[in-house]
Amino acid sequence: MTSCFNGSAGWPEPVVRVQAVSDTCGDTIPERYVKPLSERPSLSPAAADAAGGGQNIPVVDLSMPDADATSEAVAAACREWGFFQAVNHGVRPELLRSARAAWRGFFRQPAEVRERYANSPATYEGYGSRLGTAKGGPLDWGDYYFLHLLPPSLKSHDKWPSLPASLRETTEEYGEEVVQLCRRVMRLLSTGLGLEAGRLQAAFGGEGGEGACMRVNFYPRCPQPELTLGVAAHSDPGGMTMLLVDDHVRGLQVRSPGDGKWITVDPVPDAFIVNIGDQIQVLSNAAYKSVEHRVSVSAAEDRLSMAFFYNPRSDLPIAPMPELVAPGRPALYPEMTFDEYRVFIRQRGLAGKAQLQSLQAKAAAAAAPADDPAAGGSPSSS
């Protein structure tokens, strides 16, 4: 099969591009991409209606003149759903379309052009097709490109694709505008917790001290979309995600806070889908929820999305903010840097909310009396 590279780049086995699999597999996908029955998506309209019940994640208009009302709407969405769609957010619609078009152009380049940027598990930066380094592990139906934007010391345009010619300049402009939007939403999240507007940003390292990176996802057409996923169920390990989805193909599914069933999000045109990551769940002491989500794929069309990850400074200790800890509300998570936290993801790949639940179990065990039989028990779902 064309378009693969071997483990000399640090992967435990040859990596095959899903675009190549899609082009050559005929009507049957390889076994490595088939998910267990319990993890497969429900793609029929009837099944989707039964699972989602017509629900959709909240929509928040960020142009509302009442700042308190905006903060309350954002906070309510993040407490219940961990997700909302931001409309009238201030990032120009023409820039959204230009960014999507530029990255579609990259994934349409010949394989030998894309392979110049093949990544390794050391940093994941570049063109990739898998997460996790376990040999023989399950694979998702998607390729991606991962790049850094902040801090400036990690950003290198030389590691960004040079084709199409507009990509680097467009991505730079897009990144600058989305960072400003992230900082604005952080202020709304802080006031929604009853804190000073800059408190959550300070916990990230302050403006200029935070991290930002982007993963552009490309999900090729799949002959058996009912058997696989573009991205397996997970919560985002970072702070907050600004997701720009495909403008004509649905795919994002979110676990409903009510019954735990999966709902397929109906995107609002030119909106960002904003979701809380694990680090903000930790800092807020679980007031804001980092919620599981996954991506289904299509038999008819390719799909592209752009996930912008806004993170705390990687070496800064992250723990529940003291203002949100009280005798009746102990700290639910131990202190850990984001660098330490994401080692788990890079080694094991996406695994639901396993890492966050593991941290909560450690905190509960540390807080329990030594003779308490519950000290070693499993954490409740958060």
Confirm whether 37 is domain-assigned: yes
Tell me, yes or no, whether 380 lies in a domain: no
Say how far apart CA 7 and CA 20 lie, in whole Å.
Answer: 18
Q: How far apart are CA 281 and CA 379, in angstroms?
A: 15
Write the CA distances from 115 to 11, 48, 118, 122, 221, integer angstroms: 15, 37, 5, 17, 20
Walk along the chain (382 residues) in steps of 10 and give the mean pLDDT of each run.
48 93 96 95 56 75 96 98 98 98 98 96 91 82 98 95 98 98 98 98 97 98 97 95 94 93 95 98 97 96 98 97 95 93 68 68 63 37 32
The pLDDT of residue 356 is 73
| 167 domain residue, yes or no | yes
Does 146 reside within a domain?
yes
Note whether residue 101 is domain-resident.
Answer: yes
Residue found by looking up tokens 């093949």 in the block: 118
Give the model's pLDDT for residue 1: 37
Is 63 contained in some domain?
A: yes
pLDDT at 367: 64
Separation of CA 20 from chain center: 24
Q: Which domain holds residue 130?
A: 18-41+55-366
pTM for this model (two decimals)? 0.90
CATH of the domain at 327: 2.60.120.330
Measured torsion, CA atoms of residues 100, 109, 132, 231, in degrees rounded to the nearest 10: 40
Res 241: pLDDT: 98
Please say whether the beta carbons of 17 and 139 come within 8 A.
no
Q: Count other Cβ atoms within 10 Å, centred on residue 71.
A: 21
- Number of compact structural domains in the chain: 1
Looking at the domain assignment, is residue 46 inside a domain? no
* pLDDT for the residue numbered 379: 30
4 in a structural domain? no
What's the pLDDT at 369? 56
> Which of 343, 235, 228, 232 is closest to 281 using CA atoms?
235
